[in-house]
């Protein structure tokens, strides 16, 4: 339990505090709560309602930022530790030297319902059931707003030329669970369109996610190649592993069209060659994920091959390997390949596939 949790409990009558402590302990054992929640926030409004999303930002983006030329939106993993990712990204800016100048760092925080146990959250703060934000599912409160709607809101703020007159590139980067939301948003997200219209380039950096969204019923064979899946996992092609039963954010859009858009987007798959632990506690080991491969490194290589085979004539997405690194966001993003993906700093040539 966090220090903030204990301080909050001291203000509650003892019997009630004991009951809350029991609930928190049980929840933390299954799904740890966050240590910190960012007080700064972004209002997200859709036809379904309004909510606020905690967001770490390295500059005051409510005022004009004429010096900003690059925005990096860094997405946390299942632990929802946006503060850690925010610090790591700011350190990367310093390491990038001249290439990092003019960079604003933005780290949204997608809270879970259990995070309300140790923290007295305002009723308007968006929160999701466990890790469902990874797939664009709707928040449980205060309104049924998709996590993809929240990403749209971040990109909409960046597309405001009165705030960011010199912006030329936006990088959406995520590791693990963050890599999952980035990859799926790259497939179905709507926020890129306005940025492209005003001449801002958009890149997606997908680092070490567990599963990916497949556009067909094909899955990698245990030997080589791909074939229509015929195993016993009945939900293998449901969202977030396939295109069936997609979240409400997708609406009536056709995945055939979305796949065409996805292929044209600037996507870099960043894979740690040592991310091969099949017993990692955060690895998705459901049958749906296992149908994509035994571990993250294998799944990433297989998915890249799958997409490339489906679009051999106009495929421009890239796979960069980070040698010897496992499931570690700091080492991945601070590697030579990570720095090139974020800042276009040369140094990853030998690892490009």
* Conformational region of residue 347, where left means phi above 0, alpha means psi within -120 to 50, and beta covers everything else: left
Looking at the fold, whether 139 and 222 belong to one and the same domain comes out as yes
Q: What are the residues whose beta carbons fall under 8 Å from the beta carbon of 113, sequence distance 6 or more?
A: 127, 128, 129, 130, 140, 141
**pTM here?**
0.90
Q: What is the pLDDT along the chain (353 residues), one digit of tens a residue?
A: 444 444 444 455 555 444 444 444 443 444 588 899 998 999 999 999 999 999 999 999 999 999 999 999 999 999 999 999 999 999 999 999 999 999 999 999 999 999 888 888 889 999 999 899 999 999 999 999 999 999 999 999 999 999 999 999 999 999 999 999 999 999 999 999 999 999 999 999 999 999 999 999 999 998 889 999 999 999 999 999 999 999 999 998 899 999 999 999 999 999 999 999 999 999 999 999 999 999 999 999 999 999 999 999 889 999 999 999 999 999 999 999 999 999 999 989 866 66
What is the domain range of residue 153?
A: 35-351
> Do both 184 and 199 map to the same domain?
yes
- Please give the pLDDT value at position 247: 95
Residues 23 and 168 in one domain: no
How many domains does one find in the chain? 2
Angle, CA of 126, 127 and 128, to the nearest 5°: 135
Distance CA 325, CA 299 (A): 16
Q: Is the dihedral of CA 66, 59, 195, 74 positive or negative?
A: positive
Predicted local distance difference test score (pLDDT) of residue 26:
40
161 lies in the same domain as 22 = no
Nearest to 85 by CA among 54, 117, 114, 122: 54
Find out whether 335 and 322 touch, Cβ atoms under 8 Å: yes
Burial class (CB in 10 A: 0-12, 13-18, 19+), 47: exposed
d(CA 286, CA 342): 31
- Pair (51, 9) in one structural domain: no
Distance from C-alpha of 53 to C-alpha of 124, rounded to nearest angstrom? 9
160 and 19, same structural domain?
no
pLDDT of residue 210: 95
Q: Which of 86, 96, 12, 19 is nearest to 56 (CA)?
A: 86
What is the reported pLDDT for 118?
Answer: 83
């Amino acid at each position: 339990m966090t220090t903030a949790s204990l301080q909050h409990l001291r203000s509650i009558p003892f019997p009630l505090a004991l009951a809350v402590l029991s609930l928190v302990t049980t929840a933390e054992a299954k799904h740890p709560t966050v240590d910190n929640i960012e007080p700064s926030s972004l209002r997200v409004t859709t036809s379904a309602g309004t909510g606020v999303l905690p967001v770490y930002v390295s500059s005051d983006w409510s005022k004009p930022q004429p010096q900003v030329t690059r925005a990096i939106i860094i997405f946390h993993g299942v632990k929802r530790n946006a503060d850690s990712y925010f610090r790591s990204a700011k350190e990367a800016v310093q390491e990038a030297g001249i290439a990092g100048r003019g960079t604003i760092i933005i780290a949204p925080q997608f809270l879970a319902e259990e995070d309300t146990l140790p923290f007295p959250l305002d009723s308007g703060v968006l929160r999701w059931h466990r890790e469902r934000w990874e797939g664009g599912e709707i928040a449980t409160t205060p309104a049924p707003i998709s996590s993809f709607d929240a990403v749209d809101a971040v990109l909409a703020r960046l597309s405001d030329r009165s705030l960011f007159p010199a912006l030329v590139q936006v990088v959406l980067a995520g590791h693990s669970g963050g890599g999952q939301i980035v990859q799926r948003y790259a497939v179905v997200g709507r926020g890129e369109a306005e940025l492209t219209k005003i001449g801002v380039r958009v890149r997606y950096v997908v680092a070490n996610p567990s599963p990916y969204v497949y556009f067909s019923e094909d899955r990698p064979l245990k030997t080589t190649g791909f074939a229509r899946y015929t195993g016993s996992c009945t939900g293998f092609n449901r969202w977030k592993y396939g295109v069936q039963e997609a979240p409400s954010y997708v609406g009536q859009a056709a995945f055939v069209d979305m796949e065409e858009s996805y292929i044209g987007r600037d996507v870099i798959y960043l894979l740690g060659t040592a991310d091969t632990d099949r017993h990692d506690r955060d690895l998705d080991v459901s049958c749906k994920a296992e149908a994509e491969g035994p571990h993250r490194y294998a799944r990433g290589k297989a998915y890249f091959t799958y997409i490339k085979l489906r679009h051999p004539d106009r495929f421009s997405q890239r796979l960069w390997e980070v040698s010897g690194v496992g499931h570690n966001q700091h080492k991945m993003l601070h590697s030579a390949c990570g720095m090139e993906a974020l800042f276009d700093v040369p140094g990853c040539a030998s690892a490009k596939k």
